[in-house]
Structure 1
Amino acid sequence: MFSQELPSSVTPMESDEEIAPSNSMCFSQCLPDTGTQIIDARPTEAKRLQELDAISRQNLVTSVSRHMLFKALSGEPIDRTKLNKEAFPSNLTSERVVNAVVKEATLRMENVLGFTVQRPHDFVLKNKQMPAKFKDRLYIVNKIKDDDMGNHSKSIHSIHIDSQVEKGLLMLVLSFIYCKGEVKDHMRWLEAGVLYRLLHSIDENIPAVPQAGKHSHGGNISTMSILSADATDASAGSASLTPDVDIALEKFVHMDYLVKKKFERGGDVLQDDVFSYAIGPKAYLEVGRKQIIHFCAQVLDQAPDPTMLHEIEEEEEQEQEQVNEEMQE
């Protein structure tokens, strides 16, 4: 889960200015959305894995675990096709033990490091408007139980200023999308122009309109700094704490926190197409809609919308009933 404190990076202030305790912002430590599918394997695959010699079996599980760990450290999703090619030795890819090895690796990740490996939620996989690539994705999620103040989350995200800026901006973006977005194709979408204007209202140093073509993302977008490269403090020799939203949004899309889609403007060919953003599967797993609603209410100094919270609870109850019915069958 993310830090319960909104970093100073999302408000205009000098980089060496301390945050007064009264300015810190805490939000509900709600659990992420329920209904995610577990990683499992057929008994026949598990049997074939156990029939391998001990060294080959250990090497397979270690290789897959290492692959997952590096993905977790970089914050990237795991693509099952790439996992099979990159983590499995060529002489063992035809043994038909992939799911069994992945299951053993996920158990090792959870028992040793406290990470869980999860598939996207059912409502993501069943939504035909979501990109098909999500069906083959796995995500590494930190599931260590936090306290009511979110001290664990704050400690891991406060190690680097860039991480504080990133998580604060991400929470703002998710909140604006969910609470201010327009429902299209059973998803909440927010136009890029509206998103930038909302972010500009929080930090006037963020442009009020998208800066199209400003950056050439030649490097790995998942590791690029989102701290502004344009506004530097000459006396301190450090970058401004205002995030570079263009880079950040591309990074969030790459990491599956966001989904980006181009919509036409009412069929008018004279108008430019407009990019919009929706919440991606990783955000549902790590943050959850209830957390987003509470955070947005805190930012806007309002009470959480009871209608939105009730709709989520109803959806979760329906999904759980469907799971129970499938198990009984």
Structure 2
Amino acid sequence: MSENAPLKFAYWVPNVSGGLVTSTIEQRTEFTYDYNKKLAVLAENSGFEYALSQVRYASSYGAAQQHDPAAFSLGLLTATERLKLIVAAHPGLWHPAILAKFGITADIISEGRFAVNIVSGWFKDEFTGLGEPWLEHDERYRRTEEFIRVLRGLWTQPNFEFSGDFYRIHDFSLRPQPFDVPGRAHPEIFQGGNSTAARKLAGRVSDWYFSNGKDFDGFSEQVADVRGFAADNDHAVRFGLNGFVIARDSEAEARDVLREIVDKADAGAVEGFRKSVQQAGNSTSDGKGMWADSEFADLVQYNDGFRTGLIGTPEQIAHRIVEYKKRGANLLLLGFLHYLEDVEHFGKKILPIVRELEADLDRTGDPIGVGNAR
């Protein structure tokens, strides 16, 4: 993807209950399929190209109810025309060949709009509760690398062979193959993580690397690190960044909403989540694991979305988004408080400013004010 290509936008599918913040603040967001069908159509008509269906098998972090991301995404694919659905999937709970086969069918039904986000896993209870082994941190990423290599191989090679520590494939072909999309070798493979193991994984095998919410310097550091690993492996990787949008007529109004979200946080759920995820993050030798340095307020939103700072007026948010583009972002993965209203507002009020700033960036290298975005 050219650095001058327009930014792509994705949204977190609310396929689990509780909304996108663990707070008792009003959230006019539902996890029902009917609500999500309306949202998906609205989103693709508001400039969103992707939607990520999150994976949760057990009640946790304020999400008492959960829809399966693969089945839910397939339903949303049939309800839309252009939107690409990214299905989150866990190695260890999926076999790569079964996901590959499901993906081919979904890709053909949707004419090339299926993608995956391979999640190495942080919630130990989901694995042990289902009787599956819980691997240590770096072992989970070793398994994920094999999983991705098998997934890609089965999507692109007949009579595929693979012999690893976790998976073995013997002279196997999947037919039919994924939908033929010009310029696309196979359905896109996304992967997240913050640790060195996650960054090296992206630099070897993934198409996209998702970052948790980060400020400018934190995101730039991740991009530089992953790009270095990718260069060592003659591999190309694109970058997605998580963020939560609070857009109001004034910055003060937006900050008031953020304050209310945090003040009304479900403290028990957030603390429970923090104990689970920071154990996983701190299990890395260099302390770079997911959520390892997150504060309570950061964890009120999935994946540190407040840290990206998309909070203020439409103009402020647009300028900040384009600054992230300058630092390497190819895609913004966004969450909202009131999805139907906020997604429509983003498409009408924020996205046009982003596109104007991108045009300025192409002409001048630095649109007015972007370099000073806070």
Normalising by structure 2, we get a TM-score of 0.29
Normalising by structure 1, we get a TM-score of 0.32
**Higher alpha-carbon Rg:** 1
Higher relative contact order (CA 8 A, sep 6+): 1
